[in-house]
Amino acid sequence: MKIPRTKEWRESQGLTQRELADMAGIGYVTVARIEGGQGANPPTARKIAKALGITVADLLEHPPVPLGIGPLPRLDPWGMLGVRDAEYRAAALEAATDEERERYVAELDDAIGRVELALSQDAANPPAEEDEKAAHALRLRKLWDLHNSYVVLRHEAEPVVFPEPQAVRELVPA
């Protein structure tokens, strides 16, 4: 993933590439490559964001201001995973058009389906080697975490509405 605002955020905090690398627990060459336009894997992006005290979403597309006072995040499943504040996600949903919300819900449904497919394939093919079992279990746990996060976003986008108790009584035969 490209995180083009890394340099901007690093400089706004008065850090050198080496200082950021040390704070994030990564090599300074990695920071230089990312700032030069090369992509970073998600764990590295999270380490950099954590070291800078921001979210990955800030590195992706927002100017160097905290999300709470910056522009609303774009509605996309991956980007919304980085927005920790539920009220802020709700504000982004409220500001979106019906078409944007429908697209977002469809993308969430697709993401949930892809994660469920990966979970079922991984669960059906456990490793035979003992040394691979821990890594396999970790992957399954991370997939479940991702699945649950997408499900939360999906329910925020289209909350489940329960019928009023009176309406339920009318549906249930006496």
Distance from C-alpha of 58 to C-alpha of 3, rounded to nearest angstrom: 9
Q: Is the pTM of this model over 0.85?
A: no
Distance from C-alpha of 156 to C-alpha of 159, rounded to nearest angstrom: 6
Superfamily of domain covering 6-71: lambda repressor-like DNA-binding domains (1.10.260.40)
pLDDT in tens, 150-164: 899 888 888 766 666
The pLDDT, as a whole number, for residue 131 is: 84
Q: Which residue has the higher pLDDT, 66 or 170?
A: 170
pLDDT in tens, 53-104: 888 888 886 544 454 545 666 778 888 888 888 887 888 888 888 888 888 8
pLDDT in tens, 118-147: 999 988 988 888 888 888 988 899 999 989
Asked whether 75 and 18 are in contact (CB, 8 A), the reply is no
pLDDT in tens, 2-40: 899 999 899 988 999 999 999 999 999 999 999 998 989
What residues contact residue 168 under an 8 Å CB cut-off, 6+ apart?
none
